[in-house]
Structure 1
Amino acid sequence: MIKRLIGASALAAGLCGTPALAEELRFTVWTGSEAHLSMLNGIAASYTEKNPDVTVRFETIPFADYVQKITLQLAGGNPPDLGWLLESSAPTFVDAAVLADVSETLKSTEGYDFDDLSQGAMGLWQDGDAVYGVPFSTSPFIVYYNASLYDAAGLEHPDALAAKGEWTWERLKQDAAALADAEAGVWGFQSVDGQGYGGRAVHTLIPMVRSHGGDAWADGTCGWASDEAVEAVSLYHDMIFKDHSAVPPGEQGDFFTGNAALTVTQLSRVSKLKDAAFDWGIAPLPSGPAGEASVIGQAAIVAFAQGKQTDLAADFMAHMTSAENVAIMAEFFPPARNSVLEGEAFLTSNAAVSPEQMKIVANGIANGAVAPGHVAYPQIESAMRPKFDALWKPDADVKAVLEDVCAAIEPLL
């Protein structure tokens, strides 16, 4: 789809990717966090110190619209020079040949140490000798919990339960029901980024599904309708419509403002807790009948092949993903560099997160598997979303809905 959209427009615009002497690099991101942007602008400023004629402008595109808007910019002949890209989109963009091969720049930059990049983390972003991106965040999904609510209810904290091997999805479901308080406007559980019924449905469901022994798809076969997946999704459906503990469709229950007791998300969201009026903690994902199943969300920095200054973009990528700057970004984004991930500096990189809590993040990376991706992911996601919509009703037949999901996406797999 992306290949078809951009082909004619790019040729008409004459964007061959040859480097130009432009003074500004456009860099698209999906964060609007002041803490994130301040950090990114600091890294850009350090590049400008060495290259006074070059500045970097970060452009925020909302997460839900990100891939679509980048695709339209490519089609319109107005691509950014660099951008962030999720793991789910990597196969699509690599296959469409819209990403620049930055291998020569990275491997020839003095002091870069390309071999320090984790080969496991680089898997989606390499094709033979070609390198199409460098992960800046290899971040496991983790549980955030409101410790003040847990203490008031006299419940044991999730991280303490995890240390004893007692932190399960059934226990999370039980806790969420006990902590929900309709009169106080507090829900038990909020989906990933509050978007579990839309753009984050897969990221909300897949940790549960994998811990039950299922998966979204594998080897061209859909797994959503398996017995394991049906059991896992039914658990979440019960939280919404039987326990009334999970924030339902159409309602607001933001963990970060104290209106939900539990949520699943990633380390970068800790910036939203800077002024939290409650105590909080983090824990690993719960285990299920099939054991622990850490899920990793990954995002990489890429340079777009149709950009007007690809050489300069690749040079900035080398600067941004150097060991020094990766260590800076590790405050919010768990790194792909072994030397940073394994060092003491990572465990103490964020003042708001204790070394013990950062070990939870590190263990999630070491033992996790990347969230589902596919070369046809945009089409698959478009096909899944209206089918998933049928789940979010009290009388939904979970198995029948998931069978419809598989029927819709199997031709694309």
Structure 2
Amino acid sequence: MIKRLIYSAAITSSLGFGANTVSAEELRFTVWTGSEAHLKMLGEIADSFTATHPDVTVRFDTIPFGDYVQKITLQMAGGNAPDLGWLLENSAPAFVDAGALADVSGTLKSADGYDYADFSQPAMGLWETSDATYGIPFSTSPFLVYYNKSLYDAAGLETPDQRIKDGSWTWEQLKSDAKALRDASSGVWGFETFDGQGYGSRVWHTLIPIIRAYGGSAWEGDSCKLDSPLSVQAVQLFHDMVYADGSTVPPGEQGDFFSGKAALTVTQISRVSKLADATFDWGIAPLPSGPAGDAATVGQAAVVAFAQGKHKELAAEFLAHMTNKENVAKMAAFFPPARKSVLNGDGFLTSNTAVAPEKMAFVAEGIESGSVLPSHQRFPQIEAEARPNFDALWSKNADVAATMKKLCSGISPLL
């Protein structure tokens, strides 16, 4: 029997997909994006699936990023698991270890023209074992610096693009730029953390790129390295940006690079969609280098089918459709792909009309050279244990070295 999938009313009403569709059965797909451009693209991919499945429609449920893992975990515990969804790299080991993800290898490898071998082997590392596949990365996206070129020009400062050419684009330089570009009188901050969430749900996104550029790391095997002198030096640099310089949006305050209220931020290529109506000139650049050189950091997310979903067979079929070559090429406008044929093709360089091909080229380079954010089978417990100590960093008089030592003491037994 053909199952029916339906668009959620909240999404279909804004995109015009027929919010009043009613179905006795549905396959539910959870995401954390609220971007109209992203949801429109996902809807088009779903439409191409329904073209060959006339009784099928698709429901996408948006869950805020900060609540995402907790809410889908609670849904699974309550017997209401999604059928498919997005999942971040740091959650992959825990979900695989718990048996929460369905093995979709049979469906993928038997799908006509799918070409499973086209996926980059390093990109698949978190999502497959020797005999099973638990997800397909749809986004292997390096972190980038977005900068407000209008503010740089008005201040007479060299832009990150210019500094890349002479090798002076460093974290110390970003710190200096952020301080120079801070304008309290007009409410413009020098730097805003990742999606403005860099002290809570994205604290790892904020600190890990700097830590790696300074030669530090989160952990190596079962040894915590967040309290090493190099890691502490990196965290101290960011702490100084917030409290000594006053250049960075602190906890509890609002900035927003995308509305012109911050000169710099770190995020990913998918956020370009938020600049469609920008009233200022902007640019993107790779992460700055540090004493240890360049340290590209990659955030990864995959499409997964949940083991407790009610429609596992159809979910695997839709997963195969969403991640085939044609649809990966569509998603590449926002989400750098793990398919080698798409990533290395000329089409990727021109996939996003808002970003010049030479900029997309260093996105591709970041994927090739970057390291994925830290992950672990016990990452949810590690994150919960680390949170109070991360929170303790965010005061002017915090002892960074002592706080990071206490943090490592707390998470070491979990490693």
1:223 counterpart (198, 222, 225):
225
* CA distance in structure 2 between the partners assigned to 1:346 and 1:22 by the alignment: 34
Shift of 1:116: 0.4
Could you tell me whether the CA contact under 8 Å between 2:142 and 2:297 is conserved in 1?
Answer: yes
Partner of 1:311: 313
SS at match of 1:130: coil
* CA distance in structure 1 between the partners assigned to 2:393 and 2:28 by the alignment: 40
Amino acid at match of 1:142: L
1:102 counterpart (92, 104, 117):
104
Shift of 1:163: 2.6
Amino acid at match of 2:408: C
* CA distance in structure 2 between the partners assigned to 1:245 and 1:125 by the alignment: 39
* CA distance in structure 1 between the partners assigned to 2:165 and 2:322 by the alignment: 36
Task: Map residues 4-403 of structure 1 onto 2, 5 A cutoff.
Answer: 21-24=2-5, 25-403=27-405
SS at match of 2:147: strand
**TM-score, with length taken from structure 1:** 0.95
Shift of 1:98: 1.0
Amino acid at match of 1:49: A
Q: Which ranges in structure 1 are unaligned for 5 or more consecutive residues?
A: 1-19
* CA distance in structure 1 between the partners assigned to 2:156 and 2:68 by the alignment: 42
Could you tell me whether the CA contact under 8 Å between 1:334 and 1:341 is conserved in 2?
Answer: yes
Shift of 1:22: 2.4
Could you tell me whether the CA contact under 8 Å between 2:107 and 2:317 is conserved in 1?
Answer: yes
Partner of 2:15: none
Partner of 2:24: none
Amino acid at match of 1:258: G
* CA distance in structure 2 between the partners assigned to 1:52 and 1:218 by the alignment: 50
Identical aligned pairs, as a percentage? 67
**TM-score, with length taken from structure 2:** 0.94
Could you tell me whether the CA contact under 8 Å between 1:86 and 1:299 is conserved in 2?
Answer: yes
* CA distance in structure 2 between the partners assigned to 1:344 and 1:175 by the alignment: 34
* CA distance in structure 1 between the partners assigned to 2:379 and 2:166 by the alignment: 38
* CA distance in structure 2 between the partners assigned to 1:331 and 1:134 by the alignment: 17
Shift of 1:187: 0.5
Partner of 1:17: none
Shift of 1:166: 1.2
* CA distance in structure 2 between the partners assigned to 1:174 and 1:277 by the alignment: 25
SS at match of 1:83: strand
* CA distance in structure 1 between the partners assigned to 2:349 and 2:145 by the alignment: 18
Could you tell me whether the CA contact under 8 Å between 1:21 and 1:309 is conserved in 2?
Answer: no
Q: Which ranges in structure 2 are unaligned for 5 or more consecutive residues?
A: 6-26
Q: Which runs of 4+ in 1 moved over 4 A?
A: none
Q: Deviations over 1:222-255 (max 9, x none)?
A: 1110000110000001111111101111111110
Q: How many residues align?
A: 394
